[in-house]
Amino acid sequence: MIRIKPRFRLYQNRNKPVYYTIILCSILAITTLLYINPWRSSSKNKFVSYSNQDLDSETQHPFYKGCNDVDAYINDPSYQRANASFVMLTRNKELEDVVLTLTSIESHFNQWYHYPYVFLNDEPFTEEFKKTIRNTVTAPVEFGTLMELEWEFPKKVRETIEFTERIKDQADRGVMYGDVESYHKMCRFYSGLFYKHPLVRAHEWYWRIEPDVKFFCDITYDPFYEMAQNGKEYGFTVIMQELYWSIPGLFRATRSYVNANKLKVGSLWKLFTDSYSYVQTDDEDLKKSIFDKKQLKEKVEEKIHIDHLLNQMKDGPVDLNDERNSIGLNRLIDRAQSKIPIFEDKFDNEDYNLCHFWSNFEIAKRTVFDNDVYDGYFKHLESTGGFWQERWGDAPVHSLGLALTLNVEQIHYFRDIGYQHSFIVHCPKNAPPEYQLPYVAGDNKFSERKSRYDNSFDYGSGCRCDCPPGHIDIEDTSYPCIDLWLELAHGMEKNSNFADGSYYPHVDLDSFEDKIKSEFDAL
């Protein structure tokens, strides 16, 4: 049984960096203890890490459990190869890291399926680079050079003093990669220009890969074909939170685009936002002060006591020996001294929770971005200057942009694909032995490969996985994002206060107040 951790919300958003750092570090420490202590799997231990559970739901589960017979799969008359390619933005100096990625993805997938590669660079690739790549892979390769308009910020922007000073300012404030101009360019390119490149547009689907990436499990089915067959349009392996100070103005810009175009966002919007619309009432003070069930009862009781006191005062002096009058007076004083909460990042009663799909791995239909709504979204973001005034990453931009049009059912979690980039690792447990098959190379260059793999588990989904020893899976440390995903994946919010692209209040305050008042009158 899946144990979904309680959800957490911060109301004072200006403190996000501190609080989230503390929370994430605490969770990482707890998870580490669970991994190094033998009792972590004990039935007496109530906490079971997500990586040690079956997380499947009716609509969200791996396309296959364990391994397929690749030859039988490809030769099935119903199978149809997709119009798809791998896409990588890289530079000549990264050749060694690119080869590491290609060797890994070829060994674990493309030696059987031979999907082409598209390599993009802001300068021409060298002949050495091209020759090495072609000798590494078993599929066609195309190399493209970006035009200045695709890579560089507009001339009227980059030649201003403000551009230079904004970049320096981010360095002074310690924003990660904030002082790396090429990183800003990369984020901007992947946010809204990559899908327009002719080499990318030639394909209906793409699989984004990066230099220095490792895959740990064999992928013996065609992800493109399976996504098309199952109505999926975007797939991820990692969901996590963004660093707040890299994108403080992103949600404001996103909400302004939604409002200006009167968009009805998809149900995926729920994964990335929190709603402050908890009560339906004409009392504006209560609207601004009630955000959850605990506050609801507390504030309504306060209102009833104060209303009772004020009604008594209409008839003359009030007997403060009456307990209800005394409580009412204290509540009135407390209300007079209390402050209405101030929210730095609340727009239209919503807040961005910083969750996003880690976009350095994504398998997607190109048209999830190459459409009027997303293209307009990118142009709107570009007009605000956030890609250089702040350090907007393509991952949160992609995630919020996808949520403008897509529903949860159109998203797929590739939990069975083991993946590592930088220090972030996701590696699934191997499926039971009956779902495993012996390794058979699809190309002679991969015929020599170790045949020992990780142990199998009843709840595992991987095919011939060989995970890094002692790794901590991002599934177990990406709170609260993975929890929100699981709530949606398991339909736990089907009857929530979200419909027609908007949040609606959870509670009719007038009805609730009548109930509490009847209890008060009975005292």
- Determine the pLDDT at residue 31: 42
- Determine the pLDDT at residue 523: 62
DSSP 145: E
The answer as to whether 260 is a domain residue is no
> How many Cα atoms within 13 Å fall on the side-chain side of residue 443?
17
Residue tagged active-site, from 106, 302, 362, 390: 362
Q: How far apart are CA 422 and CA 210, in angstroms?
A: 10
The answer as to whether 297 is a domain residue is yes
The answer as to whether 516 is a domain residue is yes
- Determine the pLDDT at residue 2: 61
Q: Can you read off the two tokens belonging to residue 308?
A: 């009772």
What's the structural domain count of the chain?
1
- By C-alpha distance, which of 451, 235, 521, 452 is closest to 359? 235
Residues in the chain predicted with pLDDT less than 50, given as ranges, are 6-45
The answer as to whether 308 is a domain residue is yes
**Is 351 within 8 Å of 345 (Cβ atoms)?**
yes
**Is 194 within 8 Å of 76 (Cβ atoms)?**
no
pTM, 2 dp: 0.86
The answer as to whether 341 is a domain residue is yes
Query: What is the residue range of 326's domain?
Result: 279-345+504-521
Catalytic site residue 181? no
- Determine the pLDDT at residue 451: 72
93 phi, psi to nearest 5 deg: -70, -10
- Residue 235: burial class (beta carbons within 10 Å; 0-12, 13-18, 19+): buried
> How many Cα atoms within 13 Å fall on the side-chain side of residue 305?
21
- By C-alpha distance, which of 361, 387, 389 is closest to 151? 387
The answer as to whether 287 is a domain residue is yes
- Determine the pLDDT at residue 300: 84
**Is 264 within 8 Å of 501 (Cβ atoms)?**
yes
The answer as to whether 447 is a domain residue is no
The answer as to whether 508 is a domain residue is yes
What does the pLDDT look like over 312-358, one tens digit per residue? Answer: 888 888 888 888 888 888 988 888 888 777 777 888 889 999 999 99
DSSP 137: -
Non-local CB neighbours of 350 within 8 Å, separated by 6+ positions: 251, 255, 273, 274, 275, 276, 503
